[in-house]
Amino acid sequence: MNGPPAPLVQELSQLGYALMRLLLAQAKEAFAQEGLSLLQAEVLRLVKEGVSAPSRLAEHLEVQPSQVSHLLASLEEGGLLKRELDPLDRRRLHLRLTQRGLEVAERLQAAWLSLFGQRLARLEAHELLLFRDLLRKLTGGEDA
């Protein structure tokens, strides 16, 4: 298969990038209302989803471990996250959200879903299903 024509690929690439840039700009504003950056919000999301090791956070965020350390320190100072020593291996840290951190993470998720939902509301019901199916196919997700 030769693939789609180059001009179409370029247009789709630009549109995809524009959508993500727009969503991230809106998310940045929403997350700032909680006093958090996009990266700090992403750390909360990842820890909420079960990423409990700083090294794994660095991998997910594609940043240096020292940057993760600064992010964790700021979240810990804000009372959103706890770093705890592994009782079986005291060289390892485990991360967990505080109750306040969990509440903030849930508000951030709701804000993100609201922002994305506002964009999706421009589509008809059949377009939403098609868009979902196309994204699944492009990402190799279920029912691809």
pTM of the model: 0.85
Helices (H), the chain: 6-32, 38-48, 54-61, 65-77, 99-120, 125-139
Q: What is the DSSP string of 81-105?
A: EEEEE-SS-TT-EEEEE-HHHHHHH
* Structure token digits, residue 70: 């600064």
- Is 90 exceeded by the pLDDT of residue 2? no
Give the chain's domains with CATH numbers. 31-110 (1.10.10.10)
pLDDT in tens, 32-77: 999 999 999 999 999 999 999 999 999 999 999 999 999 999 999 9
For residue 95, the cross-strand partners are: 83
- Is 90 exceeded by the pLDDT of residue 24? yes
Sign of CA dihedral 96, 99, 101, 106: positive
pLDDT interval class at 89 (50, 70, 90): confident
* Structure token digits, residue 46: 């990842």
